[in-house]
Amino acid sequence: MADNKFATVSNEAEIEATGARAELESQIAELRAEISRLTDSVSAIGSGAKAVVTSEAEVLTERLRERVRDEPVSTLLTVAGISFFVGLLARR
């Protein structure tokens, strides 16, 4: 009689463990899918940010070129001043 009770309890524990295992596997699959979606989202955001930064860099480069063409002397003096200042800082 006691063996029957232990066998019943053992069977019930195995059934509960199997159910819990299936539930955990389901949750792990959901988490993996969510991580995949998040990875795709981060990748898309990174690509968009790269495009924006590239565009801004091109705009700034073009503005600098236009300024050098329009005001070559003031640009030269600005570069000389900055170079002098950096040289002073480098000596220290």
Half-sphere CA count of 47, side-chain side, radius 13 A: 6
Which pLDDT score is estimated for 15?
Answer: 81
Q: Which long-range contacts (CB under 8 A, 24 or more apart) does 40-44 make?
A: none
Which pLDDT score is estimated for 4?
Answer: 59
Using the 8-state DSSP alphabet, how is residue 21 labeled? H
Number of domains in the chain: 1
Identity at 2, one-letter amino acid code: A
Containing domain of residue 78, as a range?
Answer: 2-91
The one-digit pLDDT tens for each residue of the chain (92 residues) are 555 555 565 777 788 878 888 899 999 999 999 999 999 999 999 999 999 999 999 999 999 999 889 999 998 999 999 999 999 999 87
What is the rounded CA–CA span in Å between residue 12 and residue 20? 12
